[in-house]
Chains A and B, each alone.
Chain A
Amino acid sequence: GAGVSQSPSNKVTEKGKDVELRCDPISGHTALYWYRQSLGQGLEFLIYFQGNSAPDKSGLPSDRFSAERTGGSVSTLTIQRTQQEDSAVYLCASSLFRGSNEQFFGPGTRLTVL
């Protein structure tokens, strides 16, 4: 596809369950970023990948959050033992390389933890 895609678009889960969110970046983009946006707020940086490695994990809010990227392409963000405060829209973006001009964003996954 031409743009960044994310799945699922919406996810409702019960507190304590694990969830996996998926991001397909634009083909050829080496850098991939995860952000989250709580209701009415700006975007909070979570983690970024350059290729398959994640040199900066400083934004992950707790050890319940982890992410991986395989083959320099698809990335999954996993949240274990979800809490209600994890409810947010999780946005993925990609760019040609770290620090390149523009980040292209996916439509996001809206996560609701009941």
Chain B
Amino acid sequence: SQQGEEDPQALSIQEGENATMNCSYKTSINNLQWYRQNSGRGLVHLILIRSNEREKHSGRLRVTLDTSKKSSSLLITASRAADTASYFCATDAFLLNYGGSQGNLIFGKGTKLSVKP
């Protein structure tokens, strides 16, 4: 079953603008990850934020996590045409009876970002 829900489903911006994508999830998590996918093929890991972290940065990427609202956001600053891709959040669920990670990731449907030059 799908855990994450991203919004918006599609986002179109001009080069140089910032892009913000949001993700909501349903259960307790071990961590939340963001992935990027070009042309419907392999995914590339962008950033991981653990359940006890609130914000993380990597280059032009900034991720926030609010576990009380079960939501996360991905901000891409100073976007470039090469950032055009689909972006997915994925949650690594925390299994209470196991006391650890479920292992497999549960993905949302993604946000399709288009950055126009």
Give A residues with C-beta under 8 Å from B: 31, 33, 35, 37, 39-45, 48, 50, 56, 59, 89, 91, 93, 98-99, 101-108
A4 to B45, CA, bound (A): 13
Write out the residue numbers on chain A whose beta carbons fall within 8 Å of the beta carbon of B100: 99
What is the interface size of chain B, counting residues whose CB is below 8 A from a CB of the partner?
27
Write out the residue numbers on chain B whose beta carbons fall within 8 Å of the beta carbon of A104: 45
Q: Is the interface of B mostly helix, strand, loop or mixed?
A: strand
A33 to B104, CA, bound (A): 7
**In the complex, are the beta carbons of B101 and A42 less than 8 A apart?**
no
Give B residues with C-beta under 8 Å from A: 2, 4, 30-31, 33, 35, 40-45, 48, 88, 90, 92, 100-110
Most buried by A among B2, B35, B43, B110: B43
Chain B residue at minimum C-beta to C-beta distance from A108: B41
**In the complex, are the beta carbons of B41 and A48 less than 8 A apart?**
no
